[in-house]
Every structure is written in C-alpha cells, then in structure tokens.
Chain A
Amino acid sequence: MAEAILKRVADGDALAVQECLKRYGGLVWSLARKMLRNSDDAEDAVQEIFVDVWKNAARFDETKSSETTFIAMIARRRLIDKIRYSTRRISADSLDDVLLEPFTRADKTLEISIEAEQAAEAMRKLRPEQQQVLRLSIVQGMSHQEISQATGMPLGTVKTHARRGLLQVRELMGLNNDAQEVGA
C-alpha cells in the first residue's frame, strides 16, 4: 500500500527504510535545494531530516495527512531551523527568476500528494499578491523583509498577505484544527 511505509519503518521493517528513502528522497532533497539554495547545506539538512523521519515514523497518522505531507512537514521544520541559524539569503540575481516564475502546476506535481494538489488549486484562487507572498516565503524561504524589498510592498502588507493567504489556503483545503502532530 502506497501510504504504509512509515508504519513499516516504525515496526522495524528494514526494507521500508530503503523504500522510504527511495520514495521520498527526491521530495526532501528538492525541498532542501529550493529553500537552502546551496547543495552542501542541502546535503547536511537532508541527512538530518531523514534522522528526524526515522525518529518520528511512529507518530504518523494517516487519518490526519498523507505520508508525503507528513514527511514534508518534518523536512520544513528542519529547513526552517537551518535558515534561522544560517546567514543564507537569496541572491539578488535570482530574484527576477523567482518573481517571474509562474505558479502553473504541471503534471509532475500531481503525483506528490493530494494535499499538494489541493494547495495548488487553492493558491490559484488567491489574490495575485497573496500568491506571490506565499510563494516567496514558503517556497523560496525569503523573509518578509526581503519580500518587501523585492516587491516594493510595505512590510505590513507583506505580513497581512502571508497571514490571510495562508488562512485562506487552509480553509480552501478543508483542513480543520484536528491535524497531524509531528514530534519536535
């Protein structure tokens, strides 16, 4: 069954460890590359993320989220920590690419998770400024200050777009408050 790898990891199934890496390695690696923008940092982070995955495998509850999203949550927590304690900042010359990047989701992302598909659909319903702020902050890891400088939006407006946009996406995705718990 597609969503059962973490249960098997938690149950001590050795092959599941390999399967988990095979299935989610690309996802975690790509998230790290996208947010950290440095291969060396990404490699360190990915190793730490998978240690977190092994530790938290037993906490996965398939009634709360897909396995893919659960692993993405673990990955994001570690990556956010990395960004907070590093001096990494997005380079100015890549800003144009970031800002011009369309949010049209191609079929490749359809296979990632149901939640990803729902989020993409929800994002398309947001105001363009909200989409932009969420994309730059959540996907690219840019700070509110950096987004303000890059887009010319006042800092307060950036924060408002982030808050309202995220809440709206959550609502459009139909997520209630009884959501997945990931260990610290």
Chain B
Amino acid sequence: MKAEEKELLYDLLTKRVIYGLDAEEQAELNSFDPDVVEAEFRSLEIAAAAISMASLEVEPMPEHLAASILENAPSAGQPALEPAAPVFTAADVFNKSPRTSILGWLGWGVAAVLLVVLGLDVYHDRIEPRMEQAKTVEQPPQQQPRVLTPAEQREQLMRSAPDMVSASWAPGNMKDMQVSGDIVWSDAKQAGYMRFHGLPANDPSKATYQLWIFDQTQDKATPIDGGTFDVDATGDVVVPINPRLHATKPEMFAVTMEKPGGVVVSKREKIAVLAKVETQKS
C-alpha cells in the first residue's frame, strides 16, 4: 500500500472511530481490503474507548433511569434481544420450530428467571414484612442493637485491628488553620477513622473536605480518593474513611477542600491538613 493510501485509510479509520462516517466516506473506506479495515478498526476502537474512560469521572446513574432500563430489560416480558420476536405457541416449542432462535429463547429465559426474582422481591417487600408483623403480635418486641457512633467504631477498630497505622495532623497550605487530631488506618480491615479538633465548618453547598491517601503502591500524582466529608459548627468530629480503591501501604494522608461532591483530580490549592504515617503496630 502506498504511503498516501495508507494515510487516507487511517484518516478514514480515525474518523470512523471518533465520529462515524457519512455515506461517501464509507464508500471510500470500502475500496480498501475489508479484512484489513475491520482488523485495524477494531483495535483503534478499543484504544478510543480506553481513552474515553481514562479521564472519566464516573457518576452514579440516576435511580429512575436504572429502574426504567430494568423495566425494559429482557426481564419484563419484553424481549429486548429480539425487538420483533415472534409469538410462540406450544406447537412451536414441541416441534422445535426453526423460528425459535437462541436469542429469542434467551429473552424468554431471562424473562422467566427475572419473574421469579421479581416474585422473590415482592415476597421480601410485601409478604415477608406482613409475616414479620404477624410474628410481632405473638412475640415480645426485640430491642434493636444500638448503632455505634463513629468514635465508638474507631475504638472498636483500634482494639481489633492487628496492623493499625496512625498519624497526627499537621498544617497544610490553608491559612489560619489550627487543627489537631489524628488518623488511624488498618490495611487488613480496609477501614480507618480521622479525628479532628478545630477543623473549620464548611458550607456543603459551596465546598467539601476530601481525603487523599498516598499509598506506596500508587503513583504520587494519583493518590487514592478517601472520600468526602463535611464538618459542622462544632469542629470536633470523627470521620470514617471510605477509600475508592484498596489501600495497602498508606504513607501519607491529606485533606483538601474541594467543590461539593469532591473531585477526581485535585489541584491541591487548598490543603487543610496533612499527616505522615509515624507508627505501625505489629
């Protein structure tokens, strides 16, 4: 293939991967060896898909949208796998008619199983609670176990975790911060808590605090997101840590102030406090 032809091929493939082609461009692409075109296209498409995910900040899908998709999934008797699915009769089933495609059966199979699941959900949501209600008439009410406060959970973790690391907060780059406290973390439990005294209250509609975990297994430029949290007027808080990834060997922690909801990439302009790991209980 000549250099100009190769350049044209890759121009067309790049455009197809990124934007799609119009009829004229597609016709032009069709003039090339179809095997070469498809093979090149597939690998470029993977690269493009990966690039699109590489900088993506994943947000949760709205619940009403998820519910709507599930309603239209091959679960509610609407076989999405074959939009124009034929109506089956008993004769079709027993005669194994060629009209009965695998995808069609898959749709019905999924529908049948999901109906069972739906039935179980209904059972759990409606019938079981009623049965529970009936039981409560006959049995004395049981006391609900008390939910531990974050401070109590911290103490519990301190007692039970064999590999606790801890660090004390030091000032970051925000002015007028008089913060004390510490952070504890257990690799084994993948749990930890921050204690703060004097961390200023934030207005959650304008900003939030976000923890970053600098793990030995991660590039310094990409610390683990330890979750966001807000501080009320008292300034005395114990906050559980909710890392987005498995943290194995944290060596430093930082709390930054970010926009509501937190950020994927922190500019680190407002670092409230920092803590370098000092001790490790063996």
Contacts and interface: CB of A to CB of B under 8 A. Distances in A.
Contacts, number: 242
B44 interface: yes
Interface string A112-125: 11011111100100
B114 A17 contact: yes
B110 interface: yes
A157 interface: no
A182 B48 CA distance: 14
Interface in A161-184: 162-163, 166-167, 169-170, 173, 175-182
Interface residues of B, number: 67
Nearest to B110: A12
Interface string A1-36: 000000001111111011001100111111101110
Contacts of B65: 25, 29, 43, 46-47
A76 B50 contact: no
A92 interface: no
B43 A179 contact: yes
B46 interface: yes
A110 B223 CA distance: 11
A113 B46 contact: no
B177 interface: no
B62 A106 contact: no
Given A14-B114, A170-B43, A116 B80 contact: no
A27 B81 contact: no
A17 B115 CA distance: 13
A58 to B, nearest CB: 8
Contacts of A159: 11, 14
B81 A54 contact: yes
B43 A176 contact: yes
Interface in A96-145: 101-113, 115-120, 123, 134-135, 137-139, 143
Contact of B39 (A83, A117, A139, A179): A179
A108 B50 contact: no
B69 A14 contact: no
A72 interface: yes
Contacts of B93: none
A148 interface: no
B245 to A, nearest CB: 5
B245 A107 contact: yes
A26 B58 contact: yes
Which label, helix, strand, loop or mixed, suits the secondary structure of the B interface?
Answer: helix
B8 to A, nearest CB: 10
Interface string B75-94: 10000110000000000000
A169 B244 CA distance: 27
Contacts of A138: 18, 48, 51-52
A14 B110 contact: yes
Contact of B47 (A43, A101, A166): A166
A44 to B, nearest CB: 10
B117 interface: yes
A43 B62 contact: yes
Interface string B6-45: 0100110010011110000000000000000011101111
A50 interface: yes
B72 interface: yes
B244 A111 contact: yes
Interface string A51-84: 1001100100000110011001100100011011
A68 B49 CA distance: 9
B74 interface: yes
A53 B133 CA distance: 41
B195 to A, nearest CB: 24
16 contacts: A10-B106, A11-B106, A17-B114, A21-B61, A21-B69, A22-B66, A26-B58, A29-B59, A33-B59, A109-B264, A111-B244, A112-B54, A112-B56, A169-B50, A177-B43, A180-B46
User: Sorted from nearest, which 8 A-B pairs have the closest CB atoms?
Assistant: A14-B113, A119-B50, A12-B109, A179-B42, A177-B39, A14-B114, A25-B61, A115-B50
Given A29-B60, A76-B52, 11 more contacts: A21-B70, A47-B65, A58-B106, A69-B49, A106-B223, A106-B263, A107-B218, A109-B58, A162-B14, A169-B51, A173-B50
